[in-house]
Chain A
Amino acid sequence: MNPLELVRAQPGPAFTVTLDGREIEALPGQSVAAALWTAGVTSWRSTRGAGRPRGVFCGIGVCFDCLVTVNDRPNQRACLVPVRPGDTIRTQEGTGHDD
């Protein structure tokens, strides 16, 4: 059983986005975070102090742990932003404005 089977989902056609240049598949309606989870990725940011990895924590936009750069916009909450065909997703370090 997986969640899609559980609710008998018939998602629209999958599309491709990139994470740091690597192609991953995403489903329409998913958040960026969900697409990354599906691709087996659970962290996509390193903290600006200790450089530790972070990903989703609260899942509802409150904790800001899942910040990520989407289409050159840094500090987007991956759990809130819907993934769209062709998105360029980049892991981010520090403040997200460092490069």
Chain B
Amino acid sequence: MTDRPHLAVIGAGPAGLAASLAAAARGIRVTLIDAGAMAGGQFYRGPAPGLGARRPQALHHQWRTGDRLARGLAGHVTAGTIEHLTDHHVWCVERQSDGFAVHALLGPEQERPVTVGVDAVLLATGGYEKVLPFPGWTLPGVVTAGGAQAMLKGSLVVPGRTAVVAGTGPLLLPVATGLAAAGVDVAALVESADPKALLRGTGDAKAFLERARALAAQPGKVAEGAQYAAQLVRHRVKVMARHTVVEAHGEERLDAVTVAALDGDGRVRPGTERRIPCDTLAVGHGMLPHTDLAESLGCRVDGLDVHVDEEQRTDVPGVWAAGETTGIGGSALSLAEGHIAGRSVAARLTGAEPDPREWAAVAKSRTRMREFFAALDTVYVPPAHWTEQVTDDTVVCRCEEVTGGEIRRAVGELGAGDVRTVKLLTRAGMGWCQGRMCEPAVAGLAGCAQTSARRLLARPVPLGVLARAEEDLAGAEEDLAGAVEDPDEPGGPGASEDD
């Protein structure tokens, strides 16, 4: 069976799982390559098995979907139709004359290399959180909203006793309710979004979510919103809409934040500042797609998103992409995109022309979800004048400790008008994270749009690994067993909105 077409799916979140199941069910040999110890990605992240959680769904709003996908994967792994490589950190996908070589480092040390040769690649690399800087945001105790959630879901830990959840975007709701359910006193949910779209006046959690429902043309999303509303009320979380955190205070760690109201132009309203004692600030301003692998493959990237066609194909033959990497849109959209991508791969790799009518319902759901997130994007935006909070001594590049003042000087005195030139002149973005954290802020301070950064190495690679030639090609694994048609396809997007 080794002559079956071989697909590498990179990333085992919603998109990668849906794609793997759809492709494997149609006779494609799938190698699912993921950095995590368990499938699920960030969204379906579950507690580590050693923690013995008997009720993990208490931390998940879509546990059933994730569980179904995981069971589907397990079935394919047992049947030998999907090989699931965990703890594999992919640093590069290389185009070769007869396919692709996926180069990974084995975790958690990420020192030993593994290379997998395949016929085609499906990028489901997901996204990461965008955080805009403000004075004090580098203090221990300040974490990203998604980071607080990941630590809670994966390791069952919380960073402190009293938290403020702040920023903008739909992620703040589950983070606030999750922390509260786990026993953290959530002193406030500080959301900068426009009250005209979300909430008239401030203060009441129920009204906040009722307005949010208007956006949600999706019945599943309405139910989700109502759940969060009820939980915010139950945990007595104070919701402060049209507010923003202007400063985090503390010496060696966070001890308070100052929040302030925003005026209609997105500026801090003077005199409205108030201090909230807390030891934790979970902050986020939306999500950004991971596009590094696509960029080193030479795939077209529009703005920050990998460009795909109706079948989720990139413009590089043999490379598909699905989920957040093609544009932020949440788990339901990722499932739909992954499913379509998997079916397109299955047809194309066997020389067939896919018939889009077969997935018309999923495509319709994909369209609806994209529209839904486009609508959310118009509402959940950071304050228009957030750069005014970035003082000259605020560290903007966390790795290289480059301040707002240094960036402003590069722009004002040395003529830098784009992220790359600011980086060359200040080192902002040259450190360990390679600008993933500071790029949105640098773009904002330089007054330009954030564009894709073209990181050719998706993660740090030991030079000794780079220096070695192709000796690690993993070609010796035994043949995978025959394909198993799964009539009740676990990855079907229809399963995505049922919780």
Contact = CB atoms under 8 A, between A and B. Distances in A.
Interface in A40-65: 42-43, 47, 49-50, 52-65
Given A6-B58, A47-B401, A64-B433, A59 B146 contact: yes
Contact of A80 (B108, B141, B181, B436): B108
Contacts of B437: 57-58, 62-63
Interface string A19-59: 00000000111110110011000110001011011111111
A94 to B, nearest CB: 12
A68 interface: no
A7 B156 contact: yes
Interface in B45-59: 47-56, 58-59
Contacts of B109: 73, 76, 81
Interface residues of B, number: 55
Contacts of A61: 35
Contacts of A5: 183
Interface in B25-84: 35, 37, 42, 47-56, 58-59
B59 A56 contact: no
A12 B398 contact: no
B320 interface: no
Contact of B52 (A3, A10, A33, A75): A10
Contacts of A64: 399, 431-433
Interface in B140-197: 140-144, 146-152, 154-160, 181-183
Given A53-B253, A59-B146, A63-B398, A42 B141 contact: yes
A63 B49 CA distance: 26
Contacts of B51: 4, 7, 9, 11-12, 27-30
A67 interface: yes
A29 B155 contact: yes
Given A56-B147, A60-B147, A82-B108, A27 B159 contact: no
Interface residues of A, number: 48
Interface string B100-132: 000000011100000000000000000011000
A97 interface: no
B400 interface: yes
B50 A3 contact: no
Contacts of A27: 50-51
26 contacts: A3-B152, A3-B156, A6-B156, A7-B59, A8-B54, A12-B51, A27-B50, A28-B51, A29-B50, A31-B151, A31-B155, A37-B159, A43-B252, A49-B401, A55-B140, A55-B141, A56-B151, A57-B142, A57-B143, A58-B147, A60-B147, A62-B433, A62-B437, A65-B433, A75-B432, A79-B151
Interface of A: 1-12, 27-31, 33-34, 37-38, 42-43, 47, 49-50, 52-65, 67, 73, 75-76, 79-82
The 5 closest A-B pairs by CB, nearest first: A29-B48, A59-B147, A29-B50, A28-B50, A34-B155
